[in-house]
Amino acid sequence: MSAPAEPKKLTKKDLSADHPTWCPGCGDFAVLAAFFKVLEKLQIPHEKICTIAGIGCSSRFPYFVNGHGVHFIHGRALPLASGVSLSRPDLHVFAFGGDGDGYSIGGNHLDHAARKNVNLTYVVMDNFVYGLTKKQTSPTSPKGFKSKTDPTGAIDQPINPMKKLVYGGASFVARTHAAQVKHMMAVFERAILHPGFSVVEVLSECVVFYPGIFDDGNPRKGGEFDLIDEKKWDDSEEDEARHDVSDENAAYQLASLQYPGKFGVFYETDRPTKNQLEQKWIDSSKEKVGDATAKDLLSSRFSGMK
Amino acid sequence: MTVSATSDFPEKSASSSSSSEGITELQNAVIRFAGNSQDGIQTIGGFLARLAGRSAREVMTYMTIPSTISGGPSIFQVHLGSGEVLSAGDESDFLFAFYQHSYDNHIDSLKPGGICLYDSDHVEEIKEIEGVIHVPVPITSTTVEAIGGSARDRGKNIFVLGLVTQLFKLQKEKLVSLIEKQFGRKGEDVARNAMLAFDAGYAYPIGDLLGAQYDLKEGRNEGIDKVTTDGNTALTLGLLAGGVRYGAGYPITPWSTIMEQLRSELPKYGGLFVQCEDELAAVSMAIGFAYSGHTAITGSSGPGLSLKMEALSYATMAELPLVVINVQRGGPSTGLPTSVEQSDLMQGIYGSHGDSPRIVLAPKDVEDCFYIGREACLLAREFSCPVIVLTDQALATRIEAFTEPDLDEVVIEPVLDQEIRGEEFKPYPLDGLTKHAPPGTPMSAGKYPVVTGLEHDEWGHPSGNPEMHARMNARRREKLKVLGDRLPIPDIHGDESGEVLIVGWGSTWGPIREAVNRMREKGQKVAAMHIRHMNPMPNNLDTVFAHYNHVAVVEMNDEGLYGYGQLATLLRARYCDSKIQSICKTDGLNYKIREIIERVAELTDPS
């Protein structure tokens, strides 16, 4: 008897689908490239990869990944992805989207997916503007940003995504920059391996409607890519000052820093996932009814009504 | 004194006959309990309905619930009979009034010759009404005396149950075993107090006071106890039988009891029901379950269904199977949350943006809730599209007895289909039905499908091609026409030709049927046809319409700007037949038999 054939190695070529429809120079190309590289590294079985998105430029993501995918409606990618994750523990579920989809129309779903700690990875490509609809103010547009809906400059205070995510209860919260592919890959990998609701906020420039906005975080454009110095737990003196990712207050402090702020993992905690908690209930419910079939269960319900 | 099954015609008392010992035999009785919702009057009604199921009687109940948190005036009406019981009864034969307000508001619901038993501890002013017999019973004080201690007046519902058992010569043993079963779960004290109250009621000399006793006939017992339950429960079990294993929802009256039951039941089946943050998340999560390869369900009442509409249009476009329950209530807006209405038919069929055809079904009674729930699952899977079930507040809460379904025949164990798909796989084939490859399915050609809400080609690639959009629209429409082609014309109840055909849908089935029975007894040539498949409808209904001078569509919705209710509008649009007319109302109440008869008479003879 011969040994079973080694399964084919998953490559970027296998994972590439349609050529992205993004504008040349869009930050999202780098996000897609980093995602492919991490999948190549982790070698997740091809058919178990599931990418899900709502509406927006970045939400076109699933068309560009050759894998099971859903292009859903505006703002609702997370509840759909939660349904996939909760009913199919065998899959690796990824949700992608932008700031409008995730922080505005889908803002409430983000809070609830976070508090429920549904096991999936969510990547937000934040460009501080509505790009697909051609330059309207987004929930992350800074005050003073001139858009077609705020011709004299945005007047509303923008959302602070990192605070929202930590407050919402996401169990893994990180921030990265589309111009830093290696950092993006490292953060994606940690997010994927984290059990629970992991979110990565990626500053991803819209070169057409908000060019240059993220230069302050890009050394190649004269900015500073200021990384979070995580605790090494080495009992050294310098470790005292380093960031404890399990410290919620410290995460808020990082989130309060002046733009462009810091990059890396803000918060990470080990909390039971909704997947685990529901499975526990399913297991105990099933234990109570023994090996009853659907017919047995229905029959007993009906006899209780006689 | 006469008590008749046909409340509109007290002079025609064929259903009762007096025997020599002061015991009157009854075929039917309508009993109304009026009190406050916290008095547990629903419990009395529930026990009587259960008993009916155990004694081969037909039963139908009707209740009103205040839409407040801490209760308020509430009634529970039980129509028991050994013949066919098709409605909860227009008027009552017996009224039990717990308070002055109960008395004042419901004494007029008694038919002439009716009997009013009232709590003389609370009701002080009695009206002089000719033909109504008043019987004072100190319900509260006798209950307190019987139970003693600190129970206050709790238990007076069970006292009244004892009274009713004695008055109608009901099977005491069967009731006692039901009481012991229900209250035994709550502890010994509770069960003992319940029995003390029951015995006190049973021992109360009501027969002497009234000078009469009644023998409510049992039906022909076929040796099989019927099951007794409400419409929401029957629907829940139908969904489970049809293979639903995953669902998501958001609480709203009167849908909530379905999601509560599924939340507890599904884990026993290895499945899951999730309470979501809102209606949008609920339908989206249910679509996620459906995409994952499961038979999934979401549901709501009118306002919540409105919120789900965008996602339902997506499910039509992406061709995902999804069962959606809408327990209709009075609208528009928050409307009348605890009243009945059938005003969501157009929303069910056309409520989403774009041309988004989907299947819409409507159960006709409690038993049918089970079968429609199951059928919705089958159709969703076969046609890979949303299936909306339009039930209503009246069906949701009322109790009926029916024969237990043949579980060997109806139960479906769902299978997650992850068979490897070959090179020829197309998610949206122009020449066939969609059968998605759920995530986890290996694709032998190495090309994986994206399920999408953008217009697309056969492989699911976004396509703005004008011809492709037209062809895909046709594809989504034509598959439902295939279903319409195989639906049989609904059975006709009554004369095969004649003056009037009454067409109805949903919970008006019983009252329409009884109205037809009575009109035919009077020599009128009439019939009823009930539509359960609202979209697509069965074909060739005009061949039936041709046999009648009038087609009267009875609905609980508004006649609209042009004088036609929602189903009537659809039928007129399809058949262009001016004899299709509307009988509509929006008072939040079920149709009374008398109302239907009168309105049909007005329609056929407008003078």
Q: Are A305 and B227 in contact (CB under 8 A)?
A: yes
User: Is residue A143 in a domain?
Assistant: yes
Q: For chain A, how many helices (H) and strands (E)?
A: 11, 9
* Residue B499 and residue B480 share a domain: no
Gap between the Cα atoms of B245 and A282, Å rounded: 12
Q: Are B484 and B537 in contact (CB under 8 A)?
A: yes
Q: Which of B193, B227, B261 is the last residue of a domain?
A: B227
Gap between the Cα atoms of A31 and B37, Å rounded: 59
Cα–Cα nearest to B82, from B228, B219, B281: B219
| Type and span of the H or E element at B283 | helix B279-291
User: Is residue B288 in a domain?
Assistant: yes
Contact A84 B288 (CB under 8 A): yes
* Residue B465 and residue B432 share a domain: yes
User: Is residue A122 in a domain?
Assistant: yes
User: Is residue A236 in a domain?
Assistant: yes
pTM of the model as a whole? 0.93
Buried b / exposed e over B381-413, threshold 16 CB at 10 Å, is: bbbbbbbbbbbbbbbbbbbbbbebbebeebbbe
Q: How high does pLDDT run on average in chain B?
A: 91
Nearest to B451 among A70, A79, A83 (CB): A70
* Residue B234 and residue B101 share a domain: no
Q: Are B281 and B308 in contact (CB under 8 A)?
A: no
Whether residue B454 lies within 8 A of chain A, CB to CB, comes out as yes
Contact B285 A83 (CB under 8 A): yes
Q: What are phi and psi of B124, to 5 degrees?
A: -110, -30
State which amino acid sits at residue B53: G
* Residue B172 and residue B185 share a domain: yes
User: Is residue B171 in a domain?
Assistant: yes
Q: What is the pLDDT of residues B529-553, one digit of tens each?
A: 999 999 999 999 999 999 999 999 9
pLDDT band at B162 (very low <50, low <70, confident <90, very high): very high
**Is the preceding peptide bond at B254 cis, omega within 30 degrees of 0?**
yes
* Residue B167 and residue B93 share a domain: yes
Q: What is the pLDDT of residues B410-461, one digit of tens each?
A: 999 999 999 999 999 999 999 999 999 999 999 999 999 999 999 999 999 9
Q: Which of B486, B501, B517 is the last residue of a domain?
A: B486
Whether residue B182 lies within 8 A of chain A, CB to CB, comes out as no
Nearest CA in chain B to A277: B272
User: Is residue B8 in a domain?
Assistant: no
Whether residue A289 lies within 8 A of chain B, CB to CB, comes out as yes
Q: Are A150 and A237 in contact (CB under 8 A)?
A: no
Whether residue B240 lies within 8 A of chain A, CB to CB, comes out as yes
Q: Is this complex scored with an ipTM above 0.85?
A: yes
* Residue B155 and residue B130 share a domain: yes
Burial tier of A211 (Cβ tally within 10 Å: 0-12, 13-18, 19+): exposed
Domain of B563: which CATH number? 3.40.50.920
B chain contacts of residue A84, beta-carbon cutoff 8 Å:
288-289, 291-292, 439
User: Is residue A230 in a domain?
Assistant: yes
* Residue B196 and residue B91 share a domain: yes
Domain of A132: which CATH number? 3.40.50.970
* Residue B379 and residue B279 share a domain: yes
Whether residue B274 lies within 8 A of chain A, CB to CB, comes out as yes
* Residue B211 and residue B264 share a domain: no
* Residue B496 and residue B482 share a domain: no
Cα–Cα nearest to B341, from B556, B529, B515, B171: B556
User: Is residue B7 in a domain?
Assistant: no
User: Is residue A57 in a domain?
Assistant: yes
User: Sheet of B526-531: strands edge to edge?
Assistant: B492-494, B526-531, B498-505, B548-555, B580-584
User: Is residue B411 in a domain?
Assistant: no
Q: Are B339 and B588 in contact (CB under 8 A)?
A: yes
Per-residue pLDDT of chain A (306 residues; tens, 9 = 90+): 455 566 689 999 999 998 999 999 999 999 999 999 999 999 999 999 999 999 999 999 999 999 999 999 999 999 999 999 999 999 999 999 999 999 999 999 999 999 999 999 999 999 999 999 999 999 999 999 999 999 999 999 999 999 999 999 999 999 999 999 999 999 999 999 999 999 999 999 999 999 999 999 999 999 999 999 999 999 999 999 999 999 999 999 999 999 999 999 999 999 999 999 999 999 999 999 999 999 999 999 999 898
User: Is residue A252 in a domain?
Assistant: yes
* Residue B123 and residue B170 share a domain: yes
* Residue B188 and residue B69 share a domain: yes
Task: Give the total number of structural domains in chain B.
Answer: 4
User: Is residue B220 in a domain?
Assistant: yes
Cα–Cα nearest to B165, from B148, B144, B183, B179: B179
The residues in A 61-90 lying below 8 A from B, measured between CB atoms, are: 62-63, 66-73, 75-76, 78-84, 86-88, 90
Q: What is the extent of the structural domain holding B576?
A: 492-604
User: Is residue B539 in a domain?
Assistant: yes
User: Is residue A114 in a domain?
Assistant: yes
Q: What is the extent of the structural domain holding A190?
A: 12-271
Nearest CA in chain B to A47: B440
**DSSP 3-state helix, strand, coil percentages of chain A (rounded to 5)?**
40, 15, 45
Task: Give the total number of structural domains in chain A.
Answer: 1
User: Is residue B446 in a domain?
Assistant: yes
Token duo for residue B40:
């547990």
